[in-house]
Amino acid sequence: MASLNDRVEGVLLGTAAGDALGAPYEFQPPRGPELPVEMAGGGPWEPGEWTDDTSMAIAIAEVAATGADLRDPKAQDAITRRWYEWSLGAKDVGIQTRTVLSAAGRGGTITADTARAAAADVHAREGRSGGNGSLMRTAPVALAYLDDEAAMVQAARAISSLTHFEADAAEATVLWCSAIRHAVLTTDLDVRIGLHHLAGDRHALWSQRLDEAEASRPADFPKNGWVVAALQAAWSAIVMTTADGQGPEHLRRGIDAAVRCGNDTDTVAAIAGGLLGAAYGASAVPAQWRTLLHGWPGMRAGGLVSLATAIEQKKPPADPDYSWSRAEVLVAHPHDPGVLLGSVGALRKLPTEVSAVVSLCRIPESDVPEGMPHVEVRLIDKTDLDENPHLDFVLLDTAHTIEELRAQGHTVLVHCVESYSRTPTVAALYGAQRSGVGAEQALADVLEKLPDANPNPVFREALRRLADR
């Protein structure tokens, strides 16, 4: 099912979007509705840069993408080593996690066993170790076991225990991984789906905690550095915004509500974003966010999508191969000469005047010059409605993104593989909105420039629906 692929791709993307959106507001009080929530950066973080939440998730994802079983001690050793390497140069590492990793690496060789021993020692000395650090990074575990729920539960507990000794931390990861897995497979948002994995007394305790979350606002859990409060705040943000619309609108509002909780805003929003991305997919994540997203280890939004796909397919990420295409299309938009329409061949021979790229197909990140604004849109050139579950949103969002890039003074290349169906569709919608002409006229104008193009009938129908909005 094509939309299943979209939801797989949305898990890491949603995590990173929440993380980067919440980063500027970390440790601040709850944010009122009159104040903006923007991916603006602040402190050590650049606009759109994710924090330790996503970085630690990526380390798990990298190992899972090799096809390794995360329950295997060798896989856990690899994850722990990757965390340790990352921590040596990271801008920020959670206090408990840094303490554990530093202690575990003192002997020169860090392993899962030395990390667990260090985590147990922290718990013995502090009397508690229920920080939110294992929950914030847990999303890739769910992706690794879409076909094996029991194995997922075992892996979630094992990966949590590498840095967090306390039962609350392990149980929170089990509940959230179960919810993410269920959302990817069914689109349903149900954090109670994993309660049966907990023992009787713990089942009742967590059920009570979820009742409290559903009856409260995210800001009612101010001590959200604690894993229980972080989960409650994230679930509260999702529940309280359900009535505002499903799909992309719920994803945006849910993450926004999570950020507004205050205190550990990036972590609560990353937790919420992973589950919302699992339910609604990569195509529900606004292009404005995807354009800005980046972070360790030198990855952007497209890399997160590739990595999530690799986990689900149990093989390392691979760049798409368009060597078969001989199309060399590059023309100016009929209603805006600052927008160029082209094929992937135009990207390979990027004109010097181009300063931003909108890709309507997956491309290797190295194909766009470093530092150039780039957004990769999930738009599939097929007529099955399952292929593009949020088609209207994606088309409108993409046209708006082009408009924003032009307002910033960019010359924009809009391309797909052969400029046959996707590019003329987006170009026509942009032209109709920019020039005020009807959909049919806007498309006719574009096709005069691209005489070999032919948007598919589903795209044409979408244009008729959207051009007058």
Q: Are residues 157 and 250 in the same domain?
A: yes
Residue 317 clears pLDDT 90, i.e. is over it: no
> Which whole number is the average pLDDT over 163-188?
97
Residue 336 clears pLDDT 80, i.e. is over it: yes
Residue scoring higher pLDDT (53 or 130) = 53
Q: Are residues 123 and 251 in the same domain?
A: yes
Q: Are residues 286 and 200 in the same domain?
A: yes
Task: Give 2's pLDDT tier (boundaries 50, 70, 90).
Answer: low
Task: Give 308's pLDDT tier (boundaries 50, 70, 90).
Answer: very high
Query: C-alpha distances in angstroms, 21 versus 18, 26, 207, 289, 396?
Result: 5, 10, 29, 8, 22
> Which whole number is the average pLDDT over 266-290?
97
Query: What is the dihedral angle through the alpha carbons of 32, 207, 273, 160, rounded to the nearest 10 degrees?
Result: 120
Instruction: Report pLDDT digits (tens) over 341-386.
Output: 999 999 988 999 999 999 999 998 889 998 899 999 999 999 998 8
Residue 128 is predicted with a pLDDT of: 79
Residue 344 is predicted with a pLDDT of: 94
> Which whole number is the average pLDDT over 63-77?
97
Among 105-109, 203-207, 299-303, name the one with the lowest average pLDDT.
105-109
Q: Are residues 125 and 85 in the same domain?
A: yes
Over pLDDT 70: what percentage of the chain?
Answer: 99
Does 319 reside within a domain?
Answer: no
Average model confidence (pLDDT) for the chain?
95
Q: Are residues 258 and 369 in the same domain?
A: no
Residue 385 is predicted with a pLDDT of: 84
Q: Are residues 82 and 161 in the same domain?
A: yes
Does 322 reside within a domain?
Answer: no
> Which whole number is the average pLDDT over 41-55?
96
Q: Are residues 422 and 459 in the same domain?
A: yes
Q: Residue 101: which residues within 8 A CB-CB, separation 6 or more?
A: 80, 83, 84, 87, 93, 110, 115, 118, 163
User: CA-CA distance, 390 to 118, in Å (whole number)?
Assistant: 46
Residue 1 clears pLDDT 60, i.e. is over it: no
User: Domain holding 304: CATH number?
Assistant: 1.10.4080.10
Residue 469 is predicted with a pLDDT of: 65
Cβ neighbours, 10 Å, residue 127: 7
Instruction: Report pLDDT digits (tens) over 198-211.
Output: 998 999 999 999 99
Over pLDDT 90: what percentage of the chain?
Answer: 89
Q: Which residue has the tokens 């990074």?
A: 137
Q: Are residues 303 and 377 in the same domain?
A: no
User: CA-CA distance, 177 to 274, in Å (whole number)?
Assistant: 10
> Which whole number is the average pLDDT over 254-270?
98
The last residue of one of the domains, among 258, 284, 313, is 313
Identity of residue 92:
D
Q: Are residues 151 and 243 in the same domain?
A: yes
User: Domain holding 389: CATH number?
Assistant: 3.90.190.10
Residue 243 is predicted with a pLDDT of: 80
Q: Contacts for 434-442 with beta carbons within 8 Å, 24 or more apart?
A: 434/335, 434/336, 434/403, 435/335, 437/335, 438/467, 438/468, 439/463, 439/464, 439/466, 439/467, 439/468, 440/464, 442/335, 442/467
Please, are residues 139 and 145 in contact by the beta-carbon 8 Å criterion?
A: no
Does 37 reside within a domain?
Answer: yes
> Which whole number is the average pLDDT over 45-73?
97
Task: Give 246's pLDDT tier (boundaries 50, 70, 90).
Answer: confident
The last residue of one of the domains, among 258, 285, 313, is 313
> Which whole number is the average pLDDT over 415-442?
95
Residue 193 clears pLDDT 70, i.e. is over it: yes
Query: What range does the domain containing 49 cover?
Result: 2-313
Instruction: Report pLDDT digits (tens) over 209-226.
Output: 999 999 999 999 999 999
Residue 191 is predicted with a pLDDT of: 98
User: CA-CA distance, 55 to 420, in Å (whole number)?
Assistant: 37
Q: Are residues 350 and 455 in the same domain?
A: yes
Does 325 reside within a domain?
Answer: no
User: CA-CA distance, 419 to 407, in Å (whole number)?
Assistant: 24
> Which whole number is the average pLDDT over 15-36?
97
Does 87 reside within a domain?
Answer: yes
Q: Are residues 269 and 197 in the same domain?
A: yes
Q: Are residues 106 and 246 in the same domain?
A: yes
Residue 200 is predicted with a pLDDT of: 86
How many angstroms separate the most distant Cα atoms in the chain? 73
Residue 468 clears pLDDT 70, i.e. is over it: no
Residue 467 clears pLDDT 80, i.e. is over it: no
Domain total for the chain?
2
Does 318 reside within a domain?
Answer: no
Which 3 state secondary structure label does DSSP give 231? helix
Does 321 reside within a domain?
Answer: no
The last residue of one of the domains, among 250, 283, 313, is 313
Residue 458 clears pLDDT 70, i.e. is over it: yes
